[in-house]
Amino acid sequence: MQWQGMGAGAITKRKLADAKYKKHRMLDMFKTNLEEFGSKHKQEICKNSQFRIQFQDMCATISVCPLASSKGFWSEI
């Protein structure tokens, strides 16, 4: 990143934007990994109520409801 020629306000704004982007990317990665985990352990999630509760807690961490979606991966769980 090049900071030269930028005022303090612009630098602060840029740092905040970068932090938001990084957080968004991390949530995307977590969601992708959660989808892969759900696919890999689908049978166990369906059969084992304790495991299902733990999986639902992981989903709730990023405000994803696996039962709410009618399309794609989440509808299969």
Tally the domains of the chain.
1
Domain of residue 53: give its range.
Answer: 8-76
Inside any domain, residue 19: yes
Q: Count the alpha carbons within 13 Å of 58 in the hemisphere toward its beta carbon.
A: 16
pLDDT in tens, 4-51: 667 888 888 989 999 999 988 988 888 888 888 888 888 998 899 999
Please state whether the predicted TM-score (pTM) of the whole model is above 0.75: no
Inside any domain, residue 36: yes
Inside any domain, residue 2: no
Would you report the helix, strand and coil content of the chain in percent, each value rounded to 5?
75, 0, 25
Q: Residues 34, 57, 39, CA angle at the centre, nearest 5°?
A: 30
